[in-house]
Chains A and B, each alone.
Chain A
Amino acid sequence: MNRLLIRLILFIALFVWCVGFSYNSLFPNSAYTIIASPFLKKLYGTVCHQHIEKTFLFNKHYFYVCARCTGIYSGALVVSFISIFSLPRLPEKMTLLYFSAIPMLIDVLSTTTGIYSYSKIIALLTGIFFGSTAFAYILAAIENNFADKSL
């Protein structure tokens, strides 16, 4: 499969996913939003705790995922968009991936143990850092196995 096609598919999939968790906020005055709300809440509830106090409020509606998940998916979406045009080759070792998870883990442990109180902005930023790196590795894994080697 063509590398560009793989990257386009992943970008579209991530775009739909991100629109889904922010659907309420993006289309606040639509009756379809209210109808879809219980299903979307349940759908995203599979992958997120959805605590209101840890979730962004936009257009008087909460996202269906927490600030950290918003960061992870947004980071992945941004990198997936950039990857359509160019993406630097990642190192073979997974050190960068582990390194990108460290700020997120420190934040989770620090807020849980009460070293400092939860901040949506910090959760978002650590999520973006991890999400963008993780996406690059996942893309590399997919392309190494499915993309045409000649391209």
Chain B
Amino acid sequence: MNRNKLLPSLVCGFGAAVLTTVPGVKNFACCLIVPVAAVISISLDHKINRSEFPIKAKQAILFGIMTGVFAALFSTFFDALTTYLVHTNDFIEALPQTEDFIKQYKLDYLLNQTMTIFNQMASDIRANGFSAFYSFGILMSNLFVDIIFGMIGGLAGMSFFNKHTTKI
């Protein structure tokens, strides 16, 4: 994939990441933001690179994956930036509640270790505004979800554009 091929995914992934961080937008779009971004990236690719129709499934999925990857990277960056600025986040705020619940149970070694990691992440964020482990976890979860939804969007876009080729 050359640079011109990456550009639509980059732009749409960035747009999707911005929209997911804007309060209120999720109320309307929920899980549709990344799939719609993947559809738009296919459309942009056609306009920029004059790609030919019909769009192949492999190409559509690739656009979906790339849009998902960029959306995940930018979302994680925005999340890390916000956390860095305010030195707190949802995870930190929910941690005392989690600890209260945890005290009700007899924890085995694995769960004890998990709580130790949670506390380490929380203290890193409170002290420095950043925890590498937390950011990595968020990146992985964002990549997982955004890639799946991006692929769905890519396939939906492929079906849509292949059926409306004459209108574009």
A42 near B156: Cβ-Cβ < 8 Å:
no
Flag whether B102 is at the interface (Cβ < 8 A): yes
B: contact size bracket: 35 or more
B57 near A145: Cβ-Cβ < 8 Å:
yes
Q: Which residue of A lies closest to B100 (CB)?
A: A34
B57 near A92: Cβ-Cβ < 8 Å:
no
Q: Which residue of A lies closest to B34 (CB)?
A: A47
CA distance A45 to B158 in the complex (A): 27
CB-CB under 8 A from B20, the residues of chain A are: 46
From 117 to 154 in chain B, residues with beta carbon under 8 angstroms from any chain A beta carbon are 118, 137-138, 141-142, 144-146, 149, 152
Q: A39-B137, A46-B75 are in contact. Are A34 and B101 (CB under 8 A)?
A: yes
A38 near B91: Cβ-Cβ < 8 Å:
yes
Which of A32, A46, A94 sits near B159, CB closer than 8 Å?
A94
Which of B27, B95, B146 sits near A49, CB closer than 8 Å?
B27
Interface string of A37-51 (1 = CB under 8 A from B): 111011101111101
A sample of 20 cross-chain residue pairs with beta-carbon separation below 8 angstroms, ordered by A number, consists of: A31-B102, A35-B111, A35-B114, A37-B94, A37-B98, A38-B91, A38-B118, A39-B141, A43-B144, A45-B90, A46-B145, A46-B146, A47-B145, A49-B27, A72-B31, A93-B163, A137-B156, A138-B156, A142-B155, A145-B56
